[in-house]
Amino acid sequence: MNDILTPARTACQVPGVSKKRLFETIARIICDDQPSLDYEQVFAQLTAREKLGSTGLGQGIAIPHCRVEECPQPLGTLLTLEQPIDFDAPDDQPVDLLFALLVPGEANQQHLDILAGLARLFHQPDFCRQLRAAQDATSLFKVATQYDM
């Protein structure tokens, strides 16, 4: 988590109206922090990946992810939502906790390894409970980067 998440890409109580608006917000957060990335491309890649199937894990958690050719290294964005939104999750529960992941285009195995690690981490009920209890981005970042499994 420490290698892919920064305070600038951590947001607490984000308004979430729909997946589209949420992906716009995620793309904006990433591109504001990484000006070399193109907003339209990041948004398009997140949307295209989601069309292949929901990245909702269940229990209110989603890990949207995609590959972006110009991405210099794996990048993460952690968000909690003001109000849960429908995400077509397997358990039909709305999502309020998201970790978006971007990886370089050629990082196939690294992409899979990071996703597997994130899935293990977000399946820890205590970790998710602590994230949801965070009152601001600073405390959210701290929980995410200092949690000990």
Any idea which residues carry the catalytic annotation? 65
Structure token pair of residue 77: 């964005």
Helices (H), 53-146: 108-122, 125-133, 137-146
Identity of the residue numbered 20 = K
Rounded Cα distance, 35 and 53, in Å: 29
